[in-house]
Amino acid sequence: MDWDDLRVFLAVARSDGLTGAGKVLRLDPATVGRRIARLEEACAAALFVKSPQGYALTEAGQRMLSHAVTVEQGVQAAADALHGDTERLSGQIRIGAPDGCANFLLPQVCARICDQNPGLEVQIVALPRVFNLSRREADMAVAVSRPSAGRVTVQKLADYHLHLAAAQSYLEKSPPLASPADLHQHRLVGYIPDMIFDKELDYLSEVGAGTVALASNSVSVQFNWLRVGAGIGIVHDFAIPFAPEIRRVLTDQISLRRSFWLIRHADDRRLDRLSRFAEALAVEFRRELSRLEALA
């Protein structure tokens, strides 16, 4: 068994199928399928259950996954050691995050880190759900609540703040807003109730608001509704500087605080490259969050 076979295995496991793996590996799906069949024959075990929905790991595949990841880490560590510049980061790092963080904080944070490390490639995956680090959907992830289970390490990045906000154009055409009780006279923008993937995101229930008239599982969609004066909703303070037409309201009566957490797979603690990236990310993240909130 060689590393190239394991690389194909990891791509299929992470992509849940041949097509996605083929795009990552730059191979056609048929070739990927033959490589997996060859690996299963060599292992004398089925590593995947094939179905119209994709490829799911079998119990043997799950056992193989942890060993394959260990080999991958070793290969990356060897590449880093041979790179010759131990002060700079290189290679590809993928970070997952909820879309509010991914849209308004991580772009400028990661750009600064890449400016300091020209050989580094950073991928930001913005998804309105929790990332599965065990499946290696990302090298690390930012979350809005601290996980209580799993083989992960957790680092608090920073607290952040949220307030009720709306565009001036909306406020000028809507009923007066003097207290939270007045929200029932307004069109609310927020999450689709049954698609709130983390209790920390259930903002409107916390402030006692009514039915959400304009709902999305995406913070960015909600933010753009507010920008065009479609309604009123809870907004991250760090997002407000990106839309001067939006202003906070009832700040003395409604103010929420949440936290961002950086989550990594427990096995990654041995990877100096990822540890140094996480350290740089934390520093730049806090700096950018403070800067944006000061402008809100």
* Residue ranges covered by each domain of the chain: 1-81, 158-258
Q: Is the pLDDT of residue 122 over 90?
A: yes
Q: Report CA-CA distances (Å) from 55 to 4, 20, 38, 127, 274.
A: 19, 11, 16, 21, 28
CATH for the stretch 158-258: 3.40.190.10
**How many CB atoms within 10 Å of residue 67?**
12
Q: Are strands 152-167 and 140-143 parallel, antiparallel or unpaired?
A: unpaired
User: pLDDT tens-digit profile of 278-290?
Assistant: 999 999 999 999 9
CATH of 1-81, one of 1.20.950.20, 1.10.10.10, 1.10.150.120, 2.40.10.10: 1.10.10.10
CB-CB contact of 148 with 249 (8 Å): no
CB-CB contact of 222 with 273 (8 Å): no
User: pLDDT tens-digit profile of 223-254?
Assistant: 999 999 999 999 999 999 999 999 999 999 99
pTM of the model: 0.75
CB-CB contact of 157 with 225 (8 Å): no
Q: First vs last Cα of the chain: how many Å apart?
A: 56
Q: Please, which pLDDT band fits residue 270 given cuts at 50, 70 and 90?
A: low
Dist. CA 9–CA 123, nearest whole Å = 21
- Residue 232 backbone dihedrals phi, psi, to 5 degrees: -130, 145
Q: Is the pLDDT of residue 79 over 70?
A: no
Largest CA distance in the chain: 72
User: pLDDT tens-digit profile of 22-51?
Assistant: 888 889 999 999 999 999 988 999 999 988
**E strands within the chain?**
48-51, 54-57, 91-97, 120-126, 140-143, 152-167, 188-190, 212-215, 232-236, 246-248, 256-265
Dist. CA 154–CA 81, nearest whole Å = 26
* Phi and psi based region of residue 145 (left: phi greater than 0; alpha: psi -120 to 50; beta: remaining): beta
